[in-house]
Amino acid sequence: MATVISPVADVCRAAKRAASQLARVDARVKDAALEAIAAALEDRMSEILEANDRDMQAGREAEIGDALLDRLRLDETRVSQIARAVRQIATLADPVGEVIEGRRLPNGLDVRKVRVPLGVVAVVYEARPNVTIDAAALCLKSGNAIVLRGSSSAAHSNASLAEIAAEAAVAAGLPEGCVSLVAGGGREELAELATQSETVDLIIPRGGESLKAALEAVATVPVIYAASGNCHIYVDASADLEQAVAIVINAKTQRPGVCNAVETLLVHRDAAAALLPAILRSLAGAGVLVRGDERTLALAAQDGEDRLTGTVLVLEQAREEDWSTEYLALTITVGVVDSLEQAIEHIGRYGSGHSESILTRDTASARAFQLGVDAACVYVNASTRFTDGGEFGMGAEIGNSTQKLHARGPIGLRELCTFKYLVEGDGHVRD
């Protein structure tokens, strides 16, 4: 087996050795390795699905919930999509060696700022076996070795996928240890991985706030947090009704258990009477549980029981904690605001810095929202569901960073690189 499942320190040392070789591997060899991984996924489909069935059965027995089961589930279509994403990554330009800027100094020295791999990237993730391949493909393409640490709920799926990826990559010419998996050690293992500062250059956790807190408490390795998404849509006074309904329904229901699904809807008071009842009815028809503020509840009542009863599963009074909750389910918090400024203030208070959207036909309002909202991705007249490396043309992503250094938004190939300065002279000495 090319995948290593062994003590954390040994895995990280092997990855460090692999990383020193990967940094010098030609782009054609890396692309061939990615193609080999994609082909192996397709060839060994039954093996992958059998492993996933074991995880799904265990998840159902543990009653982990529909949202987590959806994240965990693999089928032929999803595995084919994963393979297709690997092939798309292979077609992207190799970031390694890219000249970011270059110039000749007045003293004659030539200076180039060049993109280079980070080295060893550890990815810690929950429930999503597709991350195993997405993360491996992105790291290999960007010249990094990867250490994977998935959750126990996807243990069989991750082991199968990591083994397939590592064996295919090594057979195609990449070094042993370029793809590794650590598993089975609980929080102690996570703490050990997070303190391998001599061998691991970066950790990217992809999961909930509990995973983030666990790493914050112990990590000595630099961390990019691909954390929660408490995403908002603000419907401005000038919003188009038909567009607003379609966008809100897509953002909430297309796949509710993901970090870029909308969790809070804010509606301008001048549009609320005309727009909000229609939006509520559409949410009701999609089976969404609505938790509204007092003005939302009042408008729903005015709309008439004959139009709402039997469609809204539950229309509840929103509590303070609801505004900061990432539901990852068919639940949404709805509120009426008095102004664009109040909407921006609300998002600043409760948002997680992930993805926020304004629906408006007013250019000035759109611009003010773009400038005023502090988030990785800010949309105008579009669903928050587009915050995704694949949708952004990155092939895939390891996660979406909600912090500002050194990456923000989808973490793709360039975000997995740092840079160095290459300086060339001709006998130069400093006076």
198 within some domain: yes
Mean pLDDT of 92-121: 97
Judge whether residue 337 has pLDDT over 60. Answer: yes
pLDDT in tens, 368-380: 999 999 999 999 9
Same domain, 190 and 271: no
- Closest listed residue to residue 234, CA positions, set 372, 386, 400, 392: 372
H/E stretch holding 151 reads: none
Same domain, 366 and 236: yes
pLDDT-derived band at 314 (thresholds 50, 70, 90) equals low
94 within some domain: yes
H/E stretch holding 345 reads: helix 340-350
pLDDT in tens, 198-242: 999 999 998 777 888 889 899 999 999 876 899 999 999 999 999
| Residue type at position 80 | S
Same domain, 239 and 136: no
| 3-state SS class at 211 | helix
Rounded to whole angstroms, how far apart are CA atoms 128 and 253?
Answer: 19
| Residue type at position 369 | F
* β-pair partners for 115: 419
Confidence at residue 227, expressed as pLDDT on a 0 to 100 scale: 67
Rounded to whole angstroms, how far apart are CA atoms 88 and 74?
Answer: 20
**What's the chain's length in residues?**
431
Same domain, 236 and 222: no
Percent of the chain residues past pLDDT 90, beyond the cut: 81
Most confident of 210-219, 249-258, 299-308: 249-258
Q: Structural domain tally of the chain?
A: 2
173: left (phi over 0), alpha (psi -120 to 50) or beta: left
For every residue of 193-206, DSSP letters joined together read HTT-TTT--EEEEE
Same domain, 373 and 410: no
Same domain, 359 and 222: no
Judge whether residue 2 has pLDDT over 50. Answer: no
Contact 143, 20 (CB under 8 A): no
Confidence at residue 244, expressed as pLDDT on a 0 to 100 scale: 97
* β-pair partners for 234: 266, 358
pLDDT in tens, 257-278: 889 999 999 999 999 999 999 9
150 within some domain: yes
Judge whether residue 306 has pLDDT over 70. Answer: no
Q: What angle do CA 351, 355, 359 make, to 5 degrees?
A: 100
75 within some domain: yes
Q: Measured on CA atoms in the order 176, 180, 185, 188, is the torsion positive or negative?
A: positive
Same domain, 240 and 220: no
pLDDT in tens, 168-186: 999 999 999 999 999 866 7
Rounded to whole angstroms, how far apart are CA atoms 334 and 117?
Answer: 44
Confidence at residue 212, expressed as pLDDT on a 0 to 100 scale: 84
pLDDT-derived band at 188 (thresholds 50, 70, 90) equals confident
CATH code of 283's domain: 3.40.309.10
2 within some domain: no
13 within some domain: yes
Question: For the chain, what is the mean pLDDT?
Answer: 93
Rounded to 5, what percent of the chain is helix, strand, coil? 45, 20, 35
Rounded to whole angstroms, how far apart are CA atoms 46 and 28?
Answer: 29
pLDDT-derived band at 6 (thresholds 50, 70, 90) equals low
pLDDT-derived band at 162 (thresholds 50, 70, 90) equals very high
Q: What are phi and psi of 226, to 5 degrees?
A: -100, 80
Same domain, 110 and 178: yes
Judge whether residue 319 has pLDDT over 80. Answer: yes
Whether the upstream peptide bond of residue 406 has omega within 30° of 0, thus cis, is yes
391 within some domain: no
Same domain, 103 and 213: yes
156 within some domain: yes
CATH code of 101's domain: 3.40.605.10
Helix axes 76-91, 45-62, angle to 10 degrees: 120
Same domain, 125 and 271: no
Confidence at residue 76, expressed as pLDDT on a 0 to 100 scale: 97
Take residue 297 and report the two structure tokens written for it.
């509840």
* β-pair partners for 317: 292
Same domain, 42 and 100: yes
Same domain, 222 and 237: no
Percent of the chain residues past pLDDT 70, beyond the cut: 95
- For residue 212, the enclosing domain spans 8-226+398-424
* β-pair partners for 265: 233, 334
Judge whether residue 333 has pLDDT over 90. Answer: yes
